[in-house]
């Protein structure tokens, strides 16, 4: 049974490119990709495109040599997330947390904007102007 048969939307993060700078191993990239896919693969997430950049500093004395930045276009909103950590796994976890937080803001912003407006009288809103 395919997604088309069950009429569910499968979100693919194929449009999200992962760029690597410095000495980053494949295991760290795969773990990061898994974390990003977990956030962007949720139901209700509109089309996503953009890039995630992962860098590892060459200097061994750096306190947090791993850094990442994500610039994603989610529907019609821009989501920008940055993180720095000591290891690749910590970086992926931190990036996932920050990305999830920003995605929740983007997804719920639309819902709150719709709910905040008072409906007109012909849709069940108040018919009087509130003066008595």
Taking only the tens place, the pLDDT of each residue in 105-132 is 988 876 655 556 677 788 887 776 555 4
For 75, residues 6+ apart whose C-beta sits below 8 A from its C-beta are: 46, 47, 106
The answer as to whether 20 is a domain residue is: yes
126 in a structural domain: no
* Total domains, the chain: 1
The domain of 61 spans 3-116
- The answer to whether position 131 is within a domain reads no
Is 109 in contact with 48 (CB distance < 8 Å)?
A: no
Asked whether the predicted pLDDT for residue 6 surpasses 50, the reply is no
What is residue 114's three-state secondary structure? helix
What mean pLDDT is reported for the chain? 81
Is 67 a domain residue? yes
CA-based Rg of the chain, rounded to a whole angstrom? 20
What is the DSSP annotation of 12-74? --TTEEEEEESS--HHHHHHHHHHHHHHHTSTT---EEEEEEEEE-S-TT-SS-EEEEEEEEE
User: Would the pLDDT of 77 be above 80?
Assistant: yes
Domain membership of residue 103 (yes or no) is yes
Q: Determine the Cα–Cα distance for residues 72 and 75; give it in Å rounded to an integer.
A: 9
Choose the most confident range, by mean pLDDT, from 22-26, 31-35, 54-58: 31-35
Report pTM.
0.70
Q: How far is CA 95 from the centre of its chain?
A: 9
pLDDT of residue 86 exceeding 50, the answer is yes
């Amino acid at each position: 049974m395919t997604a088309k048969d069950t009429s569910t939307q499968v979100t693919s993060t194929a449009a999200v490119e992962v760029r690597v700078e410095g000495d980053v191993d494949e295991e760290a990239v795969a773990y990061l990709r898994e974390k990003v896919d977990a956030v962007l693969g949720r139901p209700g997430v509109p089309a996503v495109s953009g890039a995630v950049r992962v860098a590892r500093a060459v200097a061994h004395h750096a306190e947090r040599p791993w850094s990442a930045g994500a610039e994603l276009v989610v529907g019609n909103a821009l989501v920008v997330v940055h993180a720095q950590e000591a290891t690749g796994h910590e970086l992926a976890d931190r990036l996932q947390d920050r990305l999830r937080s920003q995605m929740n803001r983007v997804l719920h912003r639309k819902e709150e904007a719709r709910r905040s407006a008072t409906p007109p009288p012909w849709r069940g809103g108040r018919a009087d102007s509130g003066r008595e």
